[in-house]
Homo-oligomer: A and B are copies of this chain.
Amino acid sequence: MPELIHPLDAYRAQAQQRMDPAAWAYLNGGAVDELSVQRNTDLFREIRLVPRVGVDVGHLLTSQQMFGIDVAFPLLLAPTALQRLFSDAGEQGTVEGARSTDTVTVISMESSVATRELAESAGPFLQHLYIQRDRKLTEDLVRMAEETGARGIVVTLDNPVPGIRYRQDAGMTALPAGIGRANLESGGVPTLTGGYLDPTVTWADIEWLVSLTDLPVIGKGILHPDDADRAVRAGVGGVIVSNHGGRNIDTVAHPMECVRAVTESVAGRVPVLLDGGIRRGTDILKALALGADAVLIGRPYVWGLAAAGAAGVADVIRILQDEFHAAMAMCGAATLADITPALILGSDQ
């Protein structure tokens, strides 16, 4: 019987073959026992769909406006640090693969290629950052984002201190020569993680960040509905429901366990996105069914990058697009608005 290997898993296997074990552990590992890393993907398998039939799905509409961008497909690339650890092309490959598929990239503050370099070849992108102890450096990053044409700022909220990552620590204690955080060169961040994290950040700091710029500020790493509401009242232009890919605290709730409450709390005031464990087209559809406006992927596009550069990134995105389109058609959803909680078995509404 021909072996069943999902194409994303094939990319994963190729990436692992090409990558240094320490880099692999850094990319794919997570907090403590990595139970949440595993569960992030597993939970989607337990959510069941109740398709509708008798609907004309000859033309599927999947585009929407978000942060002033035409988002053709409800999937963005999540900020992932230090991509030259995984591929010589690094973030350059990512933004090219994204651009060729009309996909919005969130460029990490910790990019190993500077945003100023990436911006030339990138399509529409968002700039990610942490509010650092050095607020001036934080403001510099905002100005850099504005100057390079970023369409928004993604600020991580769920990382006040470094995550405890035993596997990562066992593999890598310092960055290889020549690979660094290009956006922070002046900041002098010597250790692999955490030196720039500020555990004292509060909503007042988010309000300050919002006040700095006309760009929409999108808060990433929210799981509790009250925090989502607080973020909106602080002026954010979007919310990303995320458990940081299971990298920060183990046995954390799954974003899909939180997204409906967050969506109800946000009540349409700003877009709600979700990341964590998205590996199939049906995962995207399920996230949208429970209220997300779009999802982000992280590790999967890096597998594509590591295996085949920009073409690999683009192919990973297309695989998910094909699956999502098939899932929409099979569920009788011709537009994103047709993807409602009623498609999920056991959802009340």
Contacts and interface: CB of A to CB of B under 8 A. Distances in A.
A31 B150 CA distance: 39
Interface in A214-264: 221-224, 226-227, 230-231, 234, 248-254, 257-258
**How many copies are assembled?**
4
A12 to B, nearest CB: 12
A165 to B, nearest CB: 9
Question: Could you say which of A29, A166, A258 has the most chain B C-beta atoms within 10 Å of its C-beta?
Answer: A166
A112 interface: no
Contacts of A224: 50-53
Given A2-B22, A50-B223, A224-B51, A249 B56 contact: no
Interface stretch (A95-103, A118-126, A268-276, A326-334): A326-334
B323 A53 contact: no
Interface stretch (A41-49, A62-70, A82-90, A182-190): A41-49
A75 interface: no
Interface in A133-177: 157-158, 160-164, 166-167, 170-171
Contact of A45 (B161, B221, B251): B251
B45 A249 contact: no
B2 A21 contact: yes
B251 A56 contact: no
Contact of A330 (B49, B249, B345): B249
Contacts of A332: 160
B282 A53 contact: no
A212 interface: no
B280 A54 contact: no
Contacts of A193: none
Contact of A282 (B201, B249, B330): B249
Contacts of A57: 160-161, 199-200
Contacts of A254: 48
Question: Could you say which of A1, A32, A34 has the most chain B C-beta atoms within 10 Å of its C-beta?
Answer: A1
A7 interface: yes
A44 B2 CA distance: 27
Contact of A44 (B5, B58, B248, B251): B251
Question: Could you say which of A221, A223, A249 has the most chain B C-beta atoms within 10 Å of its C-beta?
Answer: A249
A203 interface: yes
A27 to B, nearest CB: 10
Contacts of A162: 326
A45 to B, nearest CB: 6
Given A32-B280, A49-B249, A55-B160, 13 more contacts: A1-B28, A2-B25, A2-B171, A3-B170, A4-B34, A4-B166, A7-B166, A35-B45, A52-B226, A52-B227, A54-B202, A57-B200, A164-B326
7 contacts: A3-B170, A44-B251, A48-B251, A50-B258, A51-B223, A52-B224, A161-B330
Interface of A: 1-7, 16, 21-22, 24-25, 28-29, 32-35, 44-45, 47-58, 157-158, 160-164, 166-167, 170-171, 199-203, 206, 221-224, 226-227, 230-231, 234, 248-254, 257-258, 280-282, 322-323, 325-327, 329-332, 345
10 tightest Cβ-Cβ pairs between the two chains A and B: A2-B171, A58-B200, A249-B330, A53-B157, A4-B167, A2-B170, A54-B203, A161-B329, A48-B253, A56-B200
